A and B are shown apart, each in its own frame.
Chain A
Amino acid sequence: EAEVAQSPRYKITEKSQAVAFWCDPISGHATLYWYRQILGQGPELLVQFQDESVVDDSQLPKDRFSAERLKGVDSTLKIQPAELGDSAMYLCASSLGRGPTEAFFGQGTRLTVV
Chain B
Amino acid sequence: AQSVAQPEDQVNVAEGNPLTVKCTYSVSGNPYLFWYVQYPNRGLQFLLKYITGDNLVKGSYGFEAEFNKSQTSFHLKKPSALVSDSALYFCAVRDGYSSASKIIFGSGTRLSIRP
Contact = CB atoms under 8 A, between A and B. Distances in A.
Interface in B65-115: 90, 94, 96-108
Nearest to A35: B105
A105 B96 CA distance: 20
Interface in A42-63: 42-45, 48, 50, 55-56
B102 A56 contact: yes
A103 B32 CA distance: 12
A21 interface: no
A17 B91 CA distance: 35
Contacts of B96: 100
B51 interface: yes
A7 to B, nearest CB: 13
Interface residues of B, number: 26
Nearest to A53: B100
A100 B102 CA distance: 9
B66 to A, nearest CB: 18
Contacts of B45: 105
Contacts of B41: 89, 108, 110
Interface of B: 32, 34, 36, 41-46, 49, 51, 90, 94, 96-108
16 contacts: A4-B43, A6-B43, A40-B108, A41-B107, A43-B44, A43-B90, A50-B100, A56-B100, A56-B102, A93-B43, A100-B51, A100-B94, A102-B34, A102-B49, A105-B36, A107-B42
Interface of A: 4, 6, 30-31, 33, 35, 40-45, 48, 50, 55-56, 89, 91, 93, 95-108, 110
